Structure 1
């Protein structure tokens, strides 16, 4: 049903599933669903609201006190199982079949530039160790744990944001590496990768080469 910590059989889980199917509900609806008292229902709702999974609005129907109508929050919607990885894999497969690998590589390179463009203006300093430190902070804001190499000449990523897709389409790994290269303005060498069985993706900065440098080319939106 969901991956938000409630089993389908629990009271909270049944309320969540009811709201998935019906969009909204009242204490009366939930009491009938669970066959419990309104007080017991409100206890479930208090916990769900405290977790940020359910929100309530007042709805007036005629004279008297307005009733509370409950629905799922955006947080709850974002936690339900998604199949983005499968969709992306299918799209890449069809693009390769229709346009060829070279065209798809070019598209992914443009994507890496767009991603880099979101971070480039937040990089500070000309020293590579400083930029690597800032990159680590930006990656962790994306939910990717990372650390700068003790020598200050590389970075390790301890999670893959595209894990399932990358196993089927290695080009996605190249896209992430290129994004980091564009952000740093330096070429990187991949030492090991999660896709190949390591517990991290480790990159070292390649020694500067005037003909090897990268420049971020702004893309037309």
Structure 2
């Protein structure tokens, strides 16, 4: 049976796939989503005409360069940003009315709450991977499109979307504390380092997590 060119939801599926996995060519998207490359290209051209995707050429050892598609900033509206205008307004109001110290106190209190919530979610997991999978589940419910990847260097916890991006730009402490929250929630037996950061221009946030070696004394 031939693949359907009119598969419902393909447009949104393309946006979700590019958001979660980064740039991709039409053939790969077609294989993953179960539609024809011609249909995928038509969707991509439609999305491009709306300013939601763009393409760049990537040289290949043999043949013509590959055409890789990626999301533009305009596509951010299709992904949640947790009441961005309200959040930024509240941050500005707290800063102007109560001062920077009060704002930082609120950030610290939020971080303490997150630490307890995430620690409780991970405490029964038997190993690091399952701890991170439990963390990814709860962060995904919060809108971060989180997951766990295994690389040559070990496990990487990734977040493909930041639902508080506007607020984090207005109050950098929200994002700065995230690394510490993950480290505190996992506990002293693990090291966490941020390797990619959305606010620094990366496609996603990523954290390399390793288990500390115990030293017999």
Q: TM-score, normalised by structure 2?
A: 0.50
Q: TM-score, normalised by structure 1?
A: 0.49
Task: Answer with 1 or 2: which has the greater Rg.
Answer: 1
Larger strand proportion, structure 1 or 2?
A: 2
